[in-house]
Amino acid sequence: MANHRFVPRGILKRVIAIYPGSFDPLTNGHLDLIQRGAKIFDELVVAILRNSEKTALFSVEERLEMLRTSTGHLPNVRIESFEGLLVDFARKSGAQAVLRGIRVISDYEYELQMAWMNRKLDPSLETVFMMPAGSYSYLSSRIVREIASLGGSLAGLLPPSVETQLRERLGVAPLAPK
């Protein structure tokens, strides 16, 4: 006779990952990674660091809004901000993984150092690296800010609303096409 007290339920694990960063501003490279992460993880929490030593161009509230507007179509993506250690925020969020993007090999050293340090702080938290599309391998928020401040074209590199906000913030009109 079957033991009715034992009901196999299969694997019930729900994997929550945190995708932390500055997102100053959000780029299409970030969005590409968010979309890839949303396919792999059950829930993806995109987390903007609040206590950055860097002086940001956009406030955390502006960045939260940018990210929420651009990820509204992804039901398993949540946008939040955090202060303090990433491992503490991950624990509070019930996350088992941290997602980070690696564009080119030079990213690897910094990312590896962070991943090792986070592992030392919390050995139960895994770091998962993913690659954005190759067409974004040269893209960064820093370079986007620089191109925008010099009036260069940012076609295809930012969500259109972010590009408008960036040009307004810097008070620079795009260069007329040649």
Active site residues: 30, 54, 103, 141
Site for ligand PNS in 6-35 (CB under 6 A): 20-22
Q: 3-state DSSP call for residue 93? A: helix
Complex with ligand PNS: residue 117 or 155, whichever CB lies closer = 117
Instruction: Select from 36-44, 67-75, 112-120, 129-137 the region that touches ligand PNS (CB under 6 A).
Output: 112-120
Binding of ligand PNS at residue 128 (CB under 6 A)? no
User: Would you say 66 and 58 are in contact if contact means Cβ atoms under 8 Å apart?
Assistant: yes
Exposure b/e, 115-147, CB count within 10 A at least 16 = b:
beebeeeeeebbbbeeebeeebeebebeebbeb
Binding of ligand PNS at residue 81 (CB under 6 A)? no
Q: Is the peptide bond before 25 cis (omega within 30 degrees of 0)?
A: yes
Q: 141 is written with which tokens? A: 């928020």
- Which residues are CB-contacts of 166 (< 8 A; sequence separation ≥ 6)? 25, 57, 144, 145, 148, 154, 158
Q: 3-state DSSP call for residue 81? A: strand
Instruction: Select from 6-14, 110-118, 147-155, 157-165 the region that touches ligand PNS (CB under 6 A).
Output: 110-118
Complex with ligand PNS: residue 56 or 172, whichever CB lies closer = 56
Binding of ligand PNS at residue 85 (CB under 6 A)? yes
Among 28, 70, 81, 118, binds ligand PNS (CB under 6 A): 118
Complex with ligand PNS: residue 86 or 95, whichever CB lies closer = 86
Binding site for ligand PNS (CB under 6 A): 20-22, 49, 85-86, 114, 117-118
